[in-house]
Chains A and B, each alone.
Chain A
């Protein structure tokens, strides 16, 4: 891109006025587009940060809502942070390997096969799954049919179902971008296919896959509806994701934001800021990691 900025306009002096004018117009349009987009985006961040900062304190981050009555101030989000981190970690641990392997199958093994087409089709269909439906499915299958109780793990199952299609889609796109020459070169050296995939294809696409995973993680971290059905609601800290009701940040925000109490609405903003902060930390972490390990 530096090539472009450095050379334009200098190399050929006889650029006509009309073309120059067009160039300027586009330049202005691009700047305007940028400004237009920045206003609402910054406004979102500003609102969350300015409202959230007023609430966030050491107490807010380290306390649960236990013993906070209808109109009481105080309380915190600790139980929800614990819940969200555990649920999302479990969901990721379950769905990412499956999703990435599926993408590998689709791109490396399944080309043109009917099974691959069917899988691809269903993955596409399921990207449009309304999140509450995933919750309903887990409720009906895991809790009602198999008879398990509500738990953080049940929520993680629902989130995992939501993550799979997004991760498969993005990983598939990224694997497709890996140039065939790389694979061919590897085969030519006598490297078996699976090692080619592990050592050449996946590392090449790694950055892109991580970006896709982060987007998926961020998306499920903000999911509310499926969790309400599967993890229940609780005000106390529960470290055990496999037993008993757990809280989570999005359900906490949803609940507090619709409370008539102004203190509760303030807590919702505080929790929103906490959630964004966690997502950002994960994102930055993933990005640094991707940058360090990417092959360029």
Chain B
């Protein structure tokens, strides 16, 4: 076994060598920051906490962590963007202090969460509005306008050409090419698909007869894995159209569709227009639980209708020690003026005032006991 020992020795030498070479590694990135971090409100709780959940809010959480730790150097939050389902599972399994989720927990999940929180309910706290963009790739056509009916027919593969009369009717005065439409959807299960199909089913139930949910069930089209897969597909294939979170469409500089809302206006997607539709949402949770039901057909003027609200799921009571204190302190920051304002540059929209004030009340009720 001399050889084995030598192998181990060399392996060890390589390893220590590699580590030593870069032993000057550092957590200090302050030189690189863009210096916009505003001082967070509330107290600073120095703790190392794990959280997990929706990948749709990953960038928001990253930004919040950066701002929070800028004034609270000892705090570490490890957010694992593993998906809403996995996040809730990790929360219920006590590996995560709170979970991020694109949808409300199912009854059996809520039951498990209650056990996790030592018999207390787990709260859904709306925190980020994620607008869903309808991105398209069509040469020479800017500012495409679509009504929900046309949109549904396109994604149901009933409208197959860009110069279809229905599209032309939505876009008076625009010359549309005689190109085939390729629709792009998510291949994996996602909250984005869930919200987009729910929107279609709510607004045009006659046309959108497919099942709603996290899995895409309509026939035809191409599927991309994760949001970047969808973005890549739309970007590379001419005549394609797909739904993707606003931040992806912005970053890939894809054109986005102006969608006709409940008030009959074709609205452009902006952080403000996306916030507006959430203002009309109805709280379906009880007590401090703020599970929302969005009215996709809301007649609010200037509202962009297709949005996704992501929640933080946390125990109202039952989290103990530093972990509990941190969760309360961190969520207080994220729901604060500064925390919500930070979302705007990232392709998200802040929550409208009427909702965020309720969120703050709920967070105040969280106690670590």
A and B touch in the complex (CB under 8 A): yes
Q: Does A168 make an interface contact (CB < 8 A)?
A: no
CB of A212, distance to nearest CB on chain B (Å) = 13
* Binary interface encoding of chain A residues 253-276 relative to chain B, with 1 for a CB under 8 A from any of its CBs, else 0: 001011111100100000000000
B55 adjacent to A78 (CB under 8 Å): no
CB of B363, distance to nearest CB on chain A (Å) = 22
Which residues 52-92 of A have a CB within 8 angstroms of B?
Answer: 61-75, 78-79, 81-82, 85, 89, 92
A245 adjacent to B29 (CB under 8 Å): no
Nearest chain A residue, comparing its CB with the CB of B231: A260
Nearest chain B residue, comparing its CB with the CB of A245: B78
Number of A-B contacts (CB under 8 A): 154
- Residues from chain A with a CB closer than 8 A to the CB of B160 are none
Interface size on A, residues (CB 8 A): 56
Q: Does A228 make an interface contact (CB < 8 A)?
A: yes
CB of A174, distance to nearest CB on chain B (Å) = 13
Q: Does B288 make an interface contact (CB < 8 A)?
A: no
CB of A216, distance to nearest CB on chain B (Å) = 14
B29 adjacent to A259 (CB under 8 Å): no
Give the CA-CA distance A111 to B114 in the complex, in Å: 55
Q: Does A9 make an interface contact (CB < 8 A)?
A: no
Q: B17-25, B175-183, B310-318: which one contacts chain A?
A: B17-25
B15 adjacent to A89 (CB under 8 Å): yes
* Binary interface encoding of chain B residues 154-187 relative to chain A, with 1 for a CB under 8 A from any of its CBs, else 0: 0000000000000000000000000000000000
Give the CA-CA distance A166 to B226 in the complex, in Å: 31
Interface size on B, residues (CB 8 A): 60
- Residues from chain B with a CB closer than 8 A to the CB of A260 are 59, 227-228, 231, 245, 247-248, 250-252, 347
Question: Given that A150-B95, A282-B14 are known contacts, is A68 also in contact with B50, CB under 8 Å in the complex?
Answer: no
Q: Does A206 make an interface contact (CB < 8 A)?
A: yes
Q: Does B196 make an interface contact (CB < 8 A)?
A: no
Name the one of A149, A206, A285 contacting B14, with C-beta atoms under 8 angstroms. A285
Nearest chain A residue, comparing its CB with the CB of B69: A67
- Residues from chain B with a CB closer than 8 A to the CB of A68 are 29, 32-33, 62, 66
Add 13 more A-B contacts to A64-B26, A69-B62, A237-B27 (CB < 8 A). Answer: A63-B29, A65-B29, A68-B66, A69-B67, A78-B26, A85-B18, A144-B93, A150-B95, A210-B7, A232-B80, A260-B347, A261-B59, A278-B18
Residues of B at the A interface (CB closer than 8 Å) are 1, 3-4, 6-7, 10-11, 14-15, 18-19, 22, 24-34, 37, 48, 50, 52, 55, 58-60, 62-63, 65-67, 69-70, 76, 78-82, 86, 93, 95, 226-228, 231, 245, 247-248, 250-252, 345-347
